[in-house]
Amino acid sequence: MPLIPLFPRRHARIREMLDAFVDGELSPSAKARVEAHLPSCAPCRDAVAATRALKASLAALPEAPAPRSFRLTPAMVARPSPRPAKPAAPAFLVAARFAAATSVAALAIVGTLSLTSGGGAGDGATMSASGLPESASLKVTDTTGGGYDGAGVASTAQDTVPAIASPPNGGGVSGAGVPSPEPMAGAATPSADRQAGPADDSANATRAGEEQPPAGSLALAYDAPADDGDDYGPWVAALGGLSVLTIAMVTLLEIRRRRT
């Protein structure tokens, strides 16, 4: 008949050690404690007996012979090299990856050139609109100031132009800082739109620009000489388009390859 243990906590601790006790995995002192406890505790003695029985049943589980030989054949071992259909695809994929990397690199170079060449606001605007959509939209959210309607891309010129050309344009800047005169903005709109023309491929940037047209920047963009020297705009646009295309191609190829 199971006795209620006199010391419940000690009993619980002993109980947790019974499996290790049966397995012969207790330290000598722990083992001695269990052995001292057992004679006075029927539930623990039962648990020990049950554990021994379970252990014996598990040990008695029949061992299955190997159902066949698991020897490795040279063909199994050599499996990684001869993948039949795949070599063709990877070669193509490598080319696509190379094309993507090259066009992105070229885009970065031309983009940097067009930024640092100190060109007109037009260049700056086109550049940030098509070449660096992310930074463009980032900057735009910064300037949530004097919201006004209209001329998409030109707004980003506000960010590039002051950085490059603000000293000479000091007056223009301060003038434009005030929520600006309507006629000015009206005048700026068509020309800025024309500037944005080649960059329109990049829907991203254009959308970003549309969200955010501070009027002040319009005036500024218009102030700056737009027809200044080297025109990287088309290059940036073309390379941007090429980059998007090649990256999309690589993505598609990778997805297809992983599915098969």
Partner 1 sequence: MTDALEPSDEHLVSLSKDGSLDAFNSLVERYQAAVYNLCLRLIGERTAAEDATQEAFLSAYRSISRFEGGNVRSWLLRIAANQSKDELRRRLRRGPHDSLSTSAGPDDAPIDLPDAGETGGDYVERMAVGHGIQQALLQLPFEQRQAVLLSDLHGYHYEEIARIAGSSIGTVKSRIHRGRERLRAILSEQPELFGLKRRLEG
Q: Is the CB of 69 or the CB of 260 nearer to partner 1?
A: 69
By beta-carbon proximity to partner 1, the closer residue of 25 and 230 is 25
Residue 1 binds partner 1 (CB under 8 A): no
Residues 225-244 that bind partner 1 (CB under 8 A): none
Work out whether 248 is an interface residue with partner 1 (CB under 8 A). Answer: no
| 116, two tokens | 């640092």
Cα gap 181→69, rounded to integer Å: 89
Encode burial over 9-45: b for 16+ CB neighbours within 10 A, e otherwise. Answer: eebeebbebbeebbeeebeeeeeebbeebbeebeebe
End-to-end, the C-alpha distance of the chain in Å comes to 66
Among 8, 39, 67, 171, the residue binding partner 1 under the rule CB under 8 A is: 67
Residues 111-130 that bind partner 1 (CB under 8 A): none
Among 8, 74, 171, 183, binds partner 1 (CB under 8 A): 74
Binding positions for partner 1, 6-45, rule CB under 8 A: 16, 19-20, 23, 25, 45
- In the bound state with partner 1, the residue whose beta carbon lies nearer, of 9 and 71, is 71
Q: Is 65 in the site for partner 1 (CB under 8 A)?
A: yes
Instruction: Give 65 or 82: the residue with its C-beta nearer to partner 1.
Output: 65
Rounded to whole angstroms, how far apart are CA atoms 242 and 191?
Answer: 27
Could you say whether residue 63 binds partner 1 (CB under 8 A)? Answer: yes
The answer to whether the beta carbons of residues 55 and 46 sit under 8 Å apart is: no
Q: Which positions from 162 to 201 touch partner 1 by CB under 8 A, shown as an x/- string?
A: ----------------------------------------
Q: Calculate helix-pair angle for 154-165, 133-142, nearest 10 degrees.
A: 90
**Of 2 and 190, which has the nearer Cβ to partner 1?**
2
Among 3, 59, 88, 255, binds partner 1 (CB under 8 A): 59
- Would you count residue 82 as binding partner 1 (CB under 8 A)? no
| # binding residues, partner 1 (CB under 8 A) | 33
Site of interaction with partner 1 (CB under 8 A): 16, 19-20, 23, 25, 45-47, 49-51, 53-55, 57-72, 74, 76-77
